Amino acid sequence: MPKLLQIHSSPNLGSSITRELSDRFVKTWIESHANVDVETLDLAVDEVPHFDPLIMQAAMAAGGELSPEMTERLAVSDRLIDQLEAAELLVIGVPMINFTIPSQLKAWFDNVMIAGRTFKYTAPGVSKGLLFGKKAFVVLARGGDYTDGPAAAFDFQEPLLRTLLGFIGIFDVTFIRAEGLRQRPEDAAAIIGNAHAVIARLAA
């Protein structure tokens, strides 16, 4: 049974655009594809630890002896990587916060981007992602218009996500954007409606 991993990263639990849109995508996908096993990871609720001294020490040990605390900390990364490896499809909801991704999502990436598990070095300074055959749909919500125009220079959200996913071998990435929501509030309904139409086409 194909597994879909849905990741919420918005700290807004009440009126999040990315939560609404990614939930709609998953619902539409389930209706259009038989026997889908959906697992949800909510990074605002199921907090993932940031890159801390314990994980740094464990990484630096390079196969050496680990303390019980280091072993326990590594188990968190192992669990998240196992969850990611088991999924064939990712649906990630990502609001733009201060021009980039939420720190909760960055913490998740820091926990799953582990050499030998999700990527490997093939030569000094040369790496290869190990997660092949996966597809990701990423739902973005942005207050301004960052795809084109002068604000595009401040988009550290979409390029970062494309880079991080590609680094671990996920190159089949489709972005669904709802942008200009605060810059053009009078157009908010049309912006959301357009995102709904894109979701209906992609998830069918």
Distance CA 144, CA 77 (A): 34
Give the number of other CB atoms < 10 A from CB of residue 92.
25
Please state the domain count of the chain. 1
**Is-contact 30 38, C-beta < 8 A?**
yes
pLDDT tens digits for 48-78? 999 888 888 887 776 678 888 888 998 999 9
Nearest to 42 by CA among 15, 17, 6, 18: 6
pLDDT tens digits for 113-147? 998 999 999 999 899 999 999 999 999 999 999 99
Beta strand residue intervals within 43-186, DSSP E: 89-95, 119-123, 126-129, 135-142, 172-179
- For 33-157, where are the alpha helices, taking DSSP H only? 53-61, 68-86, 103-112
Full domain range(s) for residue 7: 3-203
pTM value > 0.85: yes
**Residue 127 belongs to domain with CATH number:** 3.40.50.360
